Amino acid sequence: MIPNADGDEAITGLDSLIRVNGPRPDEGAIRRAVRIILDGGVVAFPTESFYGLGVDATRHEAVGRLFRIKARDQGQPILILIPSLESLEQYVAAVPKVARELINVFWPGGLTLIFEATEQVLPLLTGGTGKIGVRLSSHPVAALLACTLGHPITGTSANLSGNPPARSAGEVSRAFGKGMDLILDGGRTQEVKASTVLDVTVDPPVVLREGMISTSDLKGFI
């Protein structure tokens, strides 16, 4: 066992945990994480809210493995983190005017927007709804991970379904043991709320989960 960046003992081997500087993540660590993701692996990483679990969102077998690791019902959708704003229209069928206005104000950041998915999005990610949650992350590690990969990674929270999300590498390790192929340890996350989830496929948009961004912050849009 080795201590993580918070001084806790992490139940993991040294080869499966890399400490990364949150504000300025080491590109070598990110490249290693990307290689693991491209090989179908699961990587835990810090986000602006909690730790997330990233797999290649374009690979059915990797997403299926993620569902099994989390013990997540396949009827529950999983959001994706896109590498850039320019890539958004590859994965969503339409970007309503209100969504563009929201993006201009809140992206990158803690707002997950629900869109109608294109055929490029795996049905497993939509939970059979035909809709996909999308976010452009403001966290340097999460953002660089998606950008280096060049296409979306999953951004589901690092927890067994129904349990509290992990806020440190040690909590990830204790939750999943050897189920993680790699943990990027960026220290303890500061946020105590998840991203806010807003469905922009309806007019007016509907808040499905209030989180980092309050309903009052969205008042002018909904």
Kindly state whether residue 44 falls inside one of the protein's structural domains.
yes
Q: How far apart are CA 20 and CA 5, in angstroms?
A: 9
pLDDT score of 6:
54
Residue-wise pLDDT for 15-74, tens only, equals 589 999 878 899 999 999 999 999 999 999 999 999 999 999 999 999 999 999 999 999
Give the SS3 label for residue 83: coil
Q: Which domain holds residue 77?
A: 2-209
pLDDT score of 5:
53
Region 181-195 average pLDDT = 93
Kindly state whether residue 214 falls inside one of the protein's structural domains.
no
Alpha-carbon dihedral 135, 141, 144, 145, rounded to 10 degrees: -80
171 pLDDT above the threshold of 90: yes
Kindly state whether residue 217 falls inside one of the protein's structural domains.
no
Count of domains observed in the chain: 1
Kindly state whether residue 215 falls inside one of the protein's structural domains.
no
Share of residues in the chain with pLDDT > 90 (%): 87
Q: Residues 6 or more apart from 184 whose CB is under 8 A from it?
A: 18, 20, 25, 29, 30, 33, 43, 44, 45, 46, 141, 145, 169
Residue-wise pLDDT for 173-186, tens only, equals 999 988 899 999 99
Q: How far apart are CA 91 and CA 187, in angstroms?
A: 31
117 pLDDT above the threshold of 50: yes
Kindly state whether residue 220 falls inside one of the protein's structural domains.
no
What is the pLDDT of the chain when averaged over all its residues?
92
Residue from 61, 28, 1, 78 nearest 184 by CA: 28
Q: CATH number of the domain that 148 lies in? A: 3.90.870.10
